[in-house]
Chain A
Amino acid sequence: MAEAVIKLGKRKQKSSFIDKVKEILPEGGNLNACLTCGACASGCPATGLADMDPRKFLRMAALGMDEEIAASDWPWMCTMCMRCIYVCPMKIDIPQLVFNARALRPREERPKGILGSCDMALKNDTTSAMGTTEEDFEFVVEDVLEEYREAQPEFADMEAPIDKQGAEFFLNQNSREPVTEPDELVPLWKILHLAGVDWTYGSKGWAGENYCMFLADDDAWKHVTEMSVKQANKLGCKTFLNTE
């Protein structure tokens, strides 16, 4: 017979990291429901990196090891691909736990590459992580289009409109294409042309990438998404079409 109840999981503080995440997720992200089966960890490519895996990460959060979680680089090695929640029998939202763990660090201490790409996207209304301005984008698109219309006469009436009012599709594009490999824009334009698609880029918010989301900076993520959304609304497009 047990004489005293053994107390497990002494919390270091009253409202720990995991409790805060539970508050903001539907059904608390099921973060209390772990059966410790290990399906998440066994099917996770990030298992073993930084001496961590998804199950261990969740257990540490459950045990209130908030300082260790904040100090770990693992949340930046997990890609939040959601395979863990996909295979989890209890549908535990480990990716959201990771996302929120990224935000435990002061913004300026988060990985420089992601931070720099997010900050760059905030500089222009194009939201390009490569800092491409509206003018530069317009120049590249027009220049490439003209070159191909001439070189490939079958496509002499091909279009690549920017801010075409009432177009059906609002298309976005990864900044790397217009900036570093403009010829890669062309196959997609040809496909849209042959399919007879009524589409447009937006001078604002055409850039498809969003590093602010990866940075776990909600305000900046919102800004980047809102810029594209407002432009698509303004142009009256019915479909927001993502290339990736």
Chain B
Amino acid sequence: MTFSVRAGLKKFNLEHNFEVKNLYEYYAKWIREGKLKVNSDWNKDLKIKFTVQDPCQIVRKSYGDPIAEDLRYVVKSVVGEENFVDMQPNRSNNYCCGGGGGFLQSGFKEERLQYGKIKDDQIKATGADYCIAGCHNCHAQIHELSEHYGGNYPVVHLWTLICLSMGILGPNEREYLGDDLKEVNVFHPETAM
């Protein structure tokens, strides 16, 4: 995880010959360079709305607003600018979802759901159909919030949407998509399991 590695290298003074980077920056770079030919045509008529969670570990705790901008650039490129609704507050000023810091594993479930109420309210206020969550802890927590507080919005990984937008998302790679997107732009539908 980005933060544990960056902070760990510094704290323990570990010798290394590499830079520590996060994938979001590269998604944006590869799209800008034309290596990933994404487009949002699939959502032109569907008009499915998306919001995105800023993962604390990557945004506020590591690379700040520039990577939050990269994240938005990627999201808008794949779902369409008009179909992206930002939550408030956002970027470095966004709230933690409550899945981080070991909270998901610490056994304080009631408190964790109470903590996440702010996140659920933020997401609902956007009116978005989906919440995009890049990291696993965020994904698990927001998914639970969606069910617990009855919003029932699907929570989806960014790589799923990137592949969907390029028409290369197979039928078995759609675990987290809602029914509205299970059949859209399916790559090799005959391989459905």
Binding site for B on A (CB under 8 A): 43, 45-46, 48-50, 73, 76-83, 86-87, 111-114, 116-117, 148, 151-152, 154-155, 170, 172, 174, 176-177, 181, 183-184, 186-188, 190-191, 194-197, 208-211, 213-215, 218, 221-222, 224-226, 228-229, 232-233, 236-244
Contacts and interface: CB of A to CB of B under 8 A. Distances in A.
Nearest to A244: B135
A114 B19 contact: no
Q: In this complex, which of B9, B26, B160 has the most chain A Cβ atoms within 10 angstroms of its Cβ?
A: B26
With most chain A CB atoms within 10 A of its CB, the pick from B21, B119, B136 is B136
19 contacts: A76-B102, A77-B106, A77-B108, A112-B107, A113-B105, A113-B106, A152-B188, A183-B175, A194-B37, A195-B30, A196-B35, A197-B30, A210-B8, A214-B105, A222-B12, A232-B16, A233-B18, A242-B20, A244-B135
A183 B96 contact: no
A242 B23 contact: yes
Given A209-B1, A244-B134, A226 B12 contact: yes
B158 to A, nearest CB: 9
B21 A81 contact: no
A114 B102 contact: yes
A209 to B, nearest CB: 6
Minimum-distance CB pairs A-B, first 3: A214-B102, A113-B105, A79-B101
A208 B58 CA distance: 13
Given A111-B106, A186-B170, A77 B36 contact: no
B100 interface: yes
Contacts of A196: 35
B88 interface: no
B81 interface: no
B2 A244 contact: yes
Interface of B: 1-2, 4-5, 7-9, 11-12, 14-23, 26-27, 30, 35-37, 55-58, 60-61, 92-93, 95-96, 98-108, 111-112, 114-119, 134-137, 157, 159-160, 162-163, 166, 168-170, 172-173, 175, 187-188, 191
A76 B103 contact: yes
Given A79-B100, A241-B23, 8 more contacts: A45-B117, A77-B111, A79-B98, A186-B170, A215-B102, A228-B5, A233-B15, A241-B26
B106 A76 contact: yes
A7 to B, nearest CB: 36
A229 B22 contact: no
Contact of B111 (A50, A181, A213): A50
Contacts of A117: 105
B115 A244 contact: no
A174 B162 contact: no
A113 B109 CA distance: 12
Given A82-B56, A191-B36, A242 B1 contact: yes
Interface centre among B8, B27, B112 (most CB of A within 10 A): B8
A130 to B, nearest CB: 12
Nearest to B190: A151
B8 to A, nearest CB: 4
Given A195-B36, A213-B8, A233-B15, A45 B118 contact: yes
B191 to A, nearest CB: 4
Contacts of B107: 111-113
Nearest to B14: A229
